[in-house]
Structure formats: C-alpha cells, structure tokens
Structure 1
Amino acid sequence: MTRILLAGLILIGFSSCDLSLLPEDSVTPLQFFKTRADLELWTNQFYTMLSNPNTDAGVNADDMIDKSMGAVIEGTRSPASESWSWTQLRNINYLLEYSSNCEDEAARNEFNGVALFFRAYFYFDKVRRYGDVPWYDRTIGSTDVELLNKPRDDRGFVMDNVLKDFRDAANLLPTEYPNTKNTRVTKWVALAFASRAALYEGTFRKYRNMEGAERYLQAAAEFAREFIDNSGFDLYKGGSQPYRELFYSDNAKTEEVVLARSYNFAGLQLSHSVQFSISNNQQGFTRRFINHYLMEDGSRFTDQPGYETMFFTDEMKNRDPRLEQTVLGLNYVQVGETQPTLNDLTAYCGYKPIKFISNKDHDGASKGTSDWPLMRSAEVFLNYAEAKAELGTLTQQDLNISVNRLRARANMPNLEMAAANSNPDPYLESCYPNVNKGGNKGVILEIRRERTIEMVMEGLRQWDLFRWKEAEQMLNHYVPYHGLYIPGVGSYDMNGDGTPDLEVYETTSVTQLDIKVRIERDIFLSNGTSGYIVGFPKVTYGTDWNNDRDYLWPIPADQRVLTQGALSQNPGWQDGLSY
C-alpha cells in the first residue's frame, strides 16, 4: 500500500499538460523505480492511452452513419477548439530516464519495452492527425527554453523513430503474459501495431506521390510477416458463426485477439456502451458498404442483374456469411433469445449493425461487458497483403497466408490474384477512384473489399480513407448516404417467410402490421415515394472539403501562441495569428 501511495504522489506531480513541470512532493525519482512493482505500477497508466470502444465503434465514414456524424464530416475542426496533451509522453520518457534505478535487469528491459511501445503509439497517433510534430525523447525542464519552443519535426523523421521504438519494444517485451492473456503489450502487439503504422505511412505517401512510400510499405510487410510466421496467432473458428461470436464474447478470443480491453461490470466495475449506442444513435450501414459483400460463391453482388433496386430480402440471400453476422438480416436471433428480430428500419439507411451485440443485459448505457479487441491477427494479415500489393511484390502464396485465411474462416472461396487483376471490379473502382492503374489494381481493390467488411466498426475506416486519399467518399456532397431500397408504398416481408411484417405508407396507414414507417417522417426516399432510404437528405457535408487542408487536423492555436509561432500551422488552416 505504501508503494501505491508513493506512486500516486508522483503521478499527481505530473498531472499537468505542461512539459516543464517537475514533481513538487517529497518523493524523488531516486527513491522510486527500484523494483519490478514500481515499474509496473508506473507503466499501468499508459494503458489509458489505448482507444476505447465507445469511440471506435461509432466512427462514421462512407460505410456507416448515425445521429452525430463527427467533427471531420461535419467540418467543425478548428485551431481554436483543437487541443492536445503531452502529459503521457512526459511520463513515458520519465520512466525511460529513471528505470536504471532498478537492479532487476529483466524487469528493467520489460518495462522499458512497455514504455517504448507506448511512445511509438503516442507519436503515431500524433502524426496521423497533425503530420509534422516535435519529437521529444527526454523530459523537459523549466529552463529548457529551446526545447519548449521547438518547431515541428518532419513526419518522416518522427515515423522513423516510431518504427524504431516499436522494433526496440518488440525486442524487449515478453512473448506472452500467462496470467493476463491479451490485455498486456507483448512482442507480438508491438509488431502488429508497427505493421499498422508503417502501412499507414507508406500508403499515405504513395497516394500523394511523396518520397519514401516504398520503404514504409516494405517495413509494414516485414513487421507483418514476422508476426505471421512466429507469433502463433490464428483466427477464431469456434461455433457456427465464428465471426459474430468473436465480437460479443465477454472474454476475448485469445487465438485471434492480440490486444484487448477487458470489461467486467460485476468484478472490475468496468463497462462500455457500444450496444446501447448502436440503438440509441441509430447507427446504420450504407448500401455502398453492403454492396462490398460478395455472393457466397465468390462472384460479385454488383454483377447481379438489377442489384441496384434489389429489395432487402433478396439482397441478403446467398451472400458472404459475414454479412448476416454483421448486419441485422433475415434470420437474426439475438444472443439469449429464441425469436428472430425483424428489421424495423429504425437505423439510419435501414441497415442495423449486429456486430458487438450480445444479450439484452447489455442494452443499457454502460452495460456492455464484452472485451474490446484493440488488435486482431486478422488486421495483421490484411496489412501484409495490402503492403505487398501496393509494393507490387504480392504473390498468390502471400494471399494464401493472409486474405485467404479470412475467407476460409467465412467459408468463402479463395481470392485468386490473376483473376482479380485480369478483371478489376468496376463497382470497387467507383468506390476507390484513386487506386493507381497497373498490374495489381484488381487485387488491391479486392484487398480493400476484404478490409472493409472484415474490420468494419473497429475504428479504422476513416483512417483508411485518409491514407488512401479517398475521404471525399464519406461526404454526401460527393456520395449520397443511400441505404435500403424501397420500391414504393406498401407492405413488405422483412424476413423472407412470405408474410408481410412492415408497412411503408405516405399519409395514412392501411394495415394492422406492428411495424409501420411513414415516408417524410420516419424515412426519406431518393425518389420521393420510392428509392433508396437517404441519410441526412436535407444536410450537405463536405462542400468545402480541401485536400491540402482537411487530411490533417489544425495545430491548436493556443500552442502556437505559447511557442510564439515556433509551431507552424498546417496548410489551409487559419487561426488569426500573424506567425
């Protein structure tokens, strides 16, 4: 208990965002960091940096929308409201400076590895948002005026340090923590996140014709391949619907989930609100997303005659099994229930998510107890395939150890590289117009298809569109938010049993059906009384989207003032300052 109190005093001394603060209590660094317990206690705070389900599961893009579209789509980012914190970076560097107090070399190496992982994680997030940022690998004192007013470092310099930190962390961290399963960072966690970071930087550069793209893509492939060959992680394949079960499990599936947030309301008093938010925010998928799913025989849904106006009961049939494990379809029965749940069109665009939906005990706010996957082996497989495809070095064997493992889990046919490249999908070409022409265009599009459906609602889609330079695709100024197709006023069978379940009417209901939807009140249709359900039909997002400006966030104006202009502003953002 004494050690916990001492650590608490130290943490209080560093609770400010000011990088120049020093501890003002009686505990000094030389009195702490002496034991494994000290190091572990200090590094536990770093785990709060990891993303959380309440944020990630509700990030809107081109695949999903809800009541609150978010600052990027709504265009509400500004230098005046933007803020950043560097407190955790100081805490990370502080440990790295004083961990030498501990004579236990194994413990020192292990927790240095934890700190290096989180420094890389911290800076990768900063680079994704701001581009160039100042790099600090030491704590800063109040007299370090030059460092306190340091300008931004080039993003390439920072990302090189990020990848080095991930690599060094992987070399120091253990391969597993037997008693905590997948809730602690390990060697494999470091390699997996390194593949994510390197792929982001490589594709960001490639689709902007920036130097260094190939080097980062090669690094992404190498990190991912080391993980694939040596980690022992596979895919969860249990049950009749393994993909669905993976995401509502109270205990993360350790075969696949490399790092997870653990939730346990009864024991740990920790919970999330993902299930509540899906319903309360009316989260719904777009038809653009639904169209990504192949037919179960591997053929393209968008090659089917009349796919554009196909009704719900027809478009849901004979598709990739992951569709009905992600979207409320024809045969959905909630966990713990015996009767099917019908699609009542209350979700935006008409397609309601069931990914992450557990039993009804999780329906309320802060009632979710399913563990949250922060990194899955599935993503590493996809990172590997994409990096190799973008490099132009992809082989069929590469696909077999990556994408085709995902397809096998879903009982889908293999992706064949030669077939994909000889006949690129026109629908995917329209979704991703910036994919470069070339021999690998078709397979790049197919890998994006796989990533889109496999990783949906896991917090990556908006970032993917950013790195691919396709963000206009998530703004209805360019692409309307179209959903389920309604042929017109009338009664509809929503589960394919031949009996009407839902009435769509214009002014007056004429049936006794339990589910009734009124046009121009409950739903808006693209052709008035028929057509696609339209999300936000009276609001336009993205009319002033600027590629030079909006792919980065603005540097906070107050930080520019504090540094007297040493921190430059990102192009296109106006903060009213003269420097």
Structure 2
Amino acid sequence: MKKISHVILLSLSLGLMTSCEKFFERDTYDSISSDNFFKTESDLELYANGFIQKMTPSATTIGYSDYHADYCAINIPTDLLRPDGNVSPGNQGGWTESSWSNLRNINYMLTNMTKLKGKISDDVYRHYEGVGRFWRAWFYYDKVQTFGAVPFYDMVVKSNDEEAMKKPRDSREFVMQKVLEDLTFAAENCLSTDKFRGGGTLINKYVALAVKSRVCLFEGTYRKYHQVDPSTGKIWENAGNNINLFLNEAIEAAEELMNSGAFSLVTGDVTKAYRSLFTSDKLLTSEVIWGRMFSKDLSLFHDLSWVYYSPTYGNKVSLTKSFVNSYLMKDGTAFTNKGNYKTIPFADEFKDRDSRLSQTVISPTYTMTNNGVTALYPPNWLVTRTGYHPIKFSLDNNADNVLSRAASWNSLPIIRYAEVLLNYAEAKAELGQLGQAEWNRSITPLRNRAGVASIYPSVADPYLAAYYQNSISDPILLEVRRERGVELCLEMGLRWGDLMRWHLGDLLSSSVNPWTGMYIPNSNVPMDLNSDGIIDFEIGTTESVKSIVVNSSNANQTFSINGDNNLQWNYQRVWSEYKYLRPIPTEAIIRNGNLTQNYLWESK
C-alpha cells in the first residue's frame, strides 16, 4: 500500500506539473486575466507546483555540475579555464528574456495571489507566499553567483514599463539582503506537514531553512575572502557586520533545523550507507530534505550512469590523486601522515580509509553486474583519466543498459541534512565558535557514519594547508573544509561555489593544481588493480580499456608520469581574478544603457 501511495502521489504531482506547464506556455501574463485563475486554494497549489517542474534542478545540475571543480580531471575543461576558451561579454548568455521568465512567473503569482486573502486560511496563504518568495530567492541566488550585482524586481514588469525595463543593477548587498528576507519569510511561514513535504520534492519550511543555511554561508564567506565586490571593485558596505550577519543567519537556520529532530543521517553498514543516498529508487527522506524523484515504474529516467561510464557521451570525469589523498584513515589520522603515502599503489590505498572513498570512486573491491553476472570491475581507461572513476550517482547493474543510455532511475538529493551540519560547522568555525561540543554535533556524526574516528583538531594538517595555498592556518577550519569536500563530493556544483567564495580560483589552474592520478611504481610493469590476477592497467602504444599512451610532451589531452611517479592528465588551464564573475552580456547593456559591466571585464 505504501508503494502504491507513493506512485499515486507522484502521478498526481506530474499531472499538476503538466497542467501548470500548459498554463505557463500561454500568452504573456499581461494578457491573462488573473480573475480567471487565482480563485481557489487548488489554483494556488497548481501554480506553485509549476515551479517544481520549471525550477527544480535537473539531474545534470545535481550530479554532474561540479566536474569543472578543482578535484576533477576531465577530457576537456570549460571555456572559462582554457587559454583558448571563448568567454566574453559578447557571447555570454543568461540575460535573455527567457532567462528572466521564471522571475516574472514568480512575481505574477505573488502579485495576484492577494485575491485569495480571506478566502483561504491564513496559514495556507502564508505558506504559498513563502513558496513564491523561496523561488524568488533561489532565482536571485543563482543570478548573483553568476553575475554579481543585478537588477532586483519584486513586481511584474509590463512590456510598456520603460523605467523598470531600463533599471540599473542594484548592488549585490541590496539584492542579497532581499534574498535573505525572502528566505527568512519562507522559513517562518512555509508549512512542514506531510502534505507540504511531498516525499521530499515540495518546498516547505525545512527546505527553506536548509537552503537559507547554504545561501547565508556562501554570502558571508564570499565577503570575508573577497576584499572587494567583484562587480564594482569597491570595498563591501559595512563589511564586518554584514559578514557576521550572514554567518549568524546560517547558524540560526541550521540550528533550527537540527533542533527540530525532523532529520537524521542515514546510517547502517558503513560500507554502504553513504552511497545509498544516491542510488536508492526513493529519496531517503530521513536525510534528504529536498530532492528529485525518478522512477523505473513511471519511466522517469536520467542519464548519470551513462554520463559517468561512457567514453564518448560524458566528459570522462575522474577525481584527482591530490584530492583522494585528503580522505582520512579509519583511525581519524591523515592519510598523508604516512611516510610512504606517495608510493602506496592503487590496490592498497583504499585499505583502512574513510569508507566514503570506496563509495565515491571505483575501488579494488567494486563489482558490476553485467548480463546477470556480478564480477570485479576495475577502472576503464577509455573513461577515467586518473584511475579514480566516480560511482557515487551510478547504478551497479547494467541489466537495463544504464551505462549506455538514459535509463537510470535512482532518485537524487538536492540538499541533505549532512550539508546542513556542514554549513553549521563552517559558519561556527569562521566565527571561532566551533568548540568540542559543536564539533561533536556536526562533524562527528558524519565521520562516524563513514567508520572514521572523530578527532577534534589541535594542529593544522600541513597537507591540507598547502593544498589550500596556505590561505588559512586554523586547524579546525581546515578539517571542516576536508569534511565538506569529502561528504559533498560532486553534488550540486557546491565545490565550484566553495572555491568561488573562498577566493581559491587558482586551484582551477594547471600550474597550481595539475590533474594527478594514481601512483605508477614502474611504467614498464603492467598492474593488477584489484588483485584478481588479471592485468587492469598498462602503458602501451594504443589507448584501450586497460591501457594508456604516455607522451612526454605534456601536450593537451595527453598522459604523462610526473616526478612522484603519479599518472598525470595534461590540459592547460588558467585562472584570473576577473573570472570570479561572468560578464554582463554586451547585448543586455546595448538594450539597457543603464546596466554596467563587472569592472574587471570592462577591458575584455
């Protein structure tokens, strides 16, 4: 009965989404009489549910949007990082009419739902107002991350409203204050009963609190580590107070959710619990606060298994050795404390490690089922560039050819309770308030879930400090960053956002952070990577499932062996200060002469 009810709920939700999609595709709202719509609570629910389809992150965003971050080696990097990459104000997207249509739809709802005041309960009315304001905050958070300062609109802009259409950019400080106000309203007024949680797919009080903790941590640390606003080159307004404001708001939102008792970490077998969050057919809503459902029964599929396993469909995403080194030993000590850590071969480096490592990438014990036969499955060298092949979002049974088509049915988290714990821990650490008690309620549960002893740090890990360019020396903050990288690896583009807010874009350049791979003891000796007596890797004259070609030129898209005998995938990448924001499109500035360019892009 429970399974049937879930299917019925999802089917009804899809019906609402489809109806609302048709509504959104009608003529512009200027020509629609709201008197024909916002008459009942059902109308309001129908309209609000339309945003689920329109604005909920896609599977690609959830599970594949961090492949340009520092810890991934890929076949070809993004234009923004390539020296020959063509990124300029002249070809920048994200500012067309369609790019702003979701905001128009949101403001249309918030403007016209007032017709229902007094006709439905105050609680329900405020809930849907909170849902609308949540989506507006979500919209603007994305715009600010991309462009910095943008015009803020809280009303529907009519086609004949010349003043509104020619509005200049509002300051980032102003826009993010509005985002904070919208998220606070949503967190205080959205309801949290089962009806409004929708199995983890609807916007509710808990989603608003979780996202508020994410957004406020981002903005507080962004202003802390960027001395000037990248939009203007000017010092932040009232910088110290506003940094503390956002960090404290992050803590308060996280604490409210933590104290609610509504969520907990998925636990159990330490070798399986973590990955189950990303391979389950249903969202594991004890931990997943908001997610996207997929279903084999309803033929709702995504392509993440295909993306991560295909030599041609995806971008050959692999984790780097320098990041893999950050996973702790089970006893809570750093792997890099081992005197021989640089020379431990692939077959041995997973032993006694944080269990999330073998649940994130192919390990020597990883198995795959093909044609009903389950067997050890080593890294495929037509796909991986480093040996550390991600499996976090992929299925292990190819019965439905999930590795070669869009047939994956596992549901995907957008924000988890684990991230809320990390947001709380980092904001506390940034304010110098992460003591033993706070550590024990945030970091310790995450490490225990992974079978790792939790040690409150007293000395900075020199490996981590060096990795982060010695930009921080606080041992507690370094460990929080370690935990964040490991726990949230490859999720929702969060790592890229972390580098942007920490002012660590240099980690995206090849000169600072080359794409290193597994240790090669002897380039002339083939390797058995999973101790099954079969050769899984060798350096040869052709590239195949089990072999690569090494080129000493270090030219783009070639393998080489570095001075530490690590495999290295070569592609030149460069970083510059102006890249922390994208440029305002030239076309937008031509249409609206009151728009200004981000100051470091003015000469580009």
Contact 2:221 2:501 in 1 (8 A): yes
Q: How does 1:191-340 map to 2 (within 5 A)?
A: 191-209=209-227, 210=236, 211=239, 212-239=242-269, 240-267=271-298, 269-280=299-310, 281=314, 282-334=316-368, 338-340=374-376
Which residues of 2 match residues 114-129 of structure 1 at below 5 A?
A: 114-129=131-146
Partner of 1:181: 199
Is contact 2:542–2:548 with CA below 8 Å preserved after alignment?
no
1:21-60 matches, cutoff 5 A:
22-24=29-31, 27-47=32-52, 48-58=54-64, 59=66, 60=68
> Which residue does the alignment assign to 1:471?
505
Contact 1:95 1:115 in 2 (8 A): yes
Match of 2:93 among 64, 83, 97: 83
Q: Distance in 1 between matches of 2:542 and 2:323?
A: 33
How far is 1:313 from its partner? Answer: 1.4
Distance 1:35 1:434 in 2: 58
SS of equivalent residue, structure 1 residue 82? coil
Q: How far did 1:78 drift? A: 1.9
Hey, what does 1:396 align to over in structure 2? 436
Answer yes or no: is the 8 Å Cα contact 1:330–1:342 preserved in 2.
yes
Structure 1 spans left out of the alignment, 5+ residues: 15-20
Alignment partners' CA distance in 2, 1:452 and 1:172: 33
- Is structure 2 residue 392 aligned with structure 1 residue 379? no
Aligned CA distance change for structure 1 residues 33 and 234 (closer, same or farther; 3 Å): same
Q: Distance in 2 between matches of 1:257 and 1:337?
A: 32
Secondary structure of the 2:194 match is: coil
Aligned to 1:165: 182
Aligned partners of 2:475 and 2:445: how far apart in 1? 19
- 1:354-503 to structure 2, matched below 5 A, reads 354-358=391-395, 359-360=397-398, 361=400, 362-416=402-456, 420=457, 422-433=458-469, 435-437=471-473, 441-458=474-491, 459-487=493-521, 488-497=523-532, 499-503=533-537
Residue 71 of structure 1 deviates from its aligned partner by 3.5
2:111 aligned with 1:104, yes or no? Answer: no
Is the deviation greater in 113-122 or in 203-212?
203-212
Does the 8 A contact of 1:434 with 1:468 survive in 2?
no
Query: Residue type matched to 2:393 in 1?
Result: F
Q: Conserved in 2, the CA contact under 8 Å of 1:434 and 1:469?
A: no
**Code of the aligned partner of 1:562:** R
Task: Give the conservation status (yes or no) of the 8 Å contact 1:284–1:352.
Answer: yes
1:359-406 CA-to-partner distances (Å, cap 9, x unmatched) read 213223211111110000000000000000001111111111111110
Secondary structure of 1:95's aligned partner: helix
TM-score, with structure 2 as normaliser: 0.86
Structure 1 residues 253 and 56: CA distance shift in structure 2, 3 A: closer
Question: Does the 8 A contact of 2:37 with 2:43 survive in 1?
Answer: yes
State the one-letter code of the partner of 1:278: Y
Query: CA separation in 2, counterparts of 1:505 and 1:534?
Result: 13
Offset, 1:157: 1.2
**CA shift at 1:452, angstroms?**
0.5
Aligned to 2:6: none
Q: For 1:219-247, what per-residue CA distance to the aligned partner results, in whole angstroms no more than 9, with x for missing partners?
A: 11111111111152001114451012221
Change (3 A) 1:300 1:436: closer
AA partner of residue 429 (structure 2): A
1: CA distance between counterparts of 2:55 and 2:16? 23
Alignment-mate amino acid for residue 89 of structure 2: P
| Structure 2 counterpart SS, 1:406 | helix
- Partner amino acid, structure 2, of 1:464: D
Query: Is it true that 1:524 corresponds to 2:579 in the alignment?
Result: no
**Cα distance change on mapping 1:91 and 1:380 into 2, 3 Å:** same
User: Counterpart of 1:51 in structure 2: which amino acid?
Assistant: P
Matching residue's letter, 2:452: M
Q: Which residue of 2 aligns with 1:18?
A: none
Q: Indicate how the Cα distance of structure 1 residues 229 and 72 shifts in structure 2: closer, same or farther if over 3 A, else same.
A: farther
Shift, 1:507, TM fit: 4.7
Look up the match of 2:589. Answer: 560
Distance 1:485 1:137, change over 3 A: same
Deviation at 1:46, TM superposition (A): 1.6
CA 1:516–1:13 in 2, change beyond 3 Å: closer, same or farther? closer
Report if aligned partners of 1:295, 1:318 keep a CA contact under 8 Å in 2.
yes
Deviation at 1:34, TM superposition (A): 1.0
* Amino acid aligned to 2:415: M
Q: 1:6 to 1:398 in 2, by over 3 A?
A: closer
Output the amino acid matched with 1:91: N
**Structure 1 residues 501, 455: closer, same or farther in 2, change over 3 A?**
same
Post-superposition CA distance 1:503-524 (Å, at most 9, x none): 5244599xxx994444349972
Partner residue of 2:7?
none
Q: Whole-Å Cα distance in 2 between the matches of residues 93 and 23 of structure 1?
A: 12
Once the 2 structures are TM-superposed, how far is the Cα of residue 57 of structure 1 from its aligned partner? 2.4
Give, in whole Å, the separation in 2 of the partners of 1:478 and 1:515. 29
SS of alignment partner, residue 25 of structure 2: helix
Is the 2:21–2:50 Cα contact (8 Å) retained in structure 1?
Answer: no
1:11 maps to 24
Are residues 575 and 33 of structure 1, via their aligned partners in 2, closer, same or farther at CA, if it must alter by over 3 Å? farther
Instruction: Give the paired residue count.
Output: 549
Deviation at 1:13, TM superposition (A): 4.1
Q: Is the 8 A contact 1:525 1:533 kept in 2?
A: yes
Structure 2 residue runs of 5 or longer lacking an equivalent are 1-11, 228-235
> Are the structure 2 counterparts of residues 9 and 311 from structure 1 closer, same or farther at C-alpha, using a change threshold of 3 Å?
closer
Evaluate the alpha carbon distance shift between residue 226 and residue 126 of structure 1 in structure 2; reply closer, same or farther with a 3 A threshold. same
Contact 1:3 1:38 in 2 (8 A): no
Partner of 2:385 in structure 1? 348
Is the Cα contact below 8 Å between 1:251 and 1:371 reproduced in 2?
yes
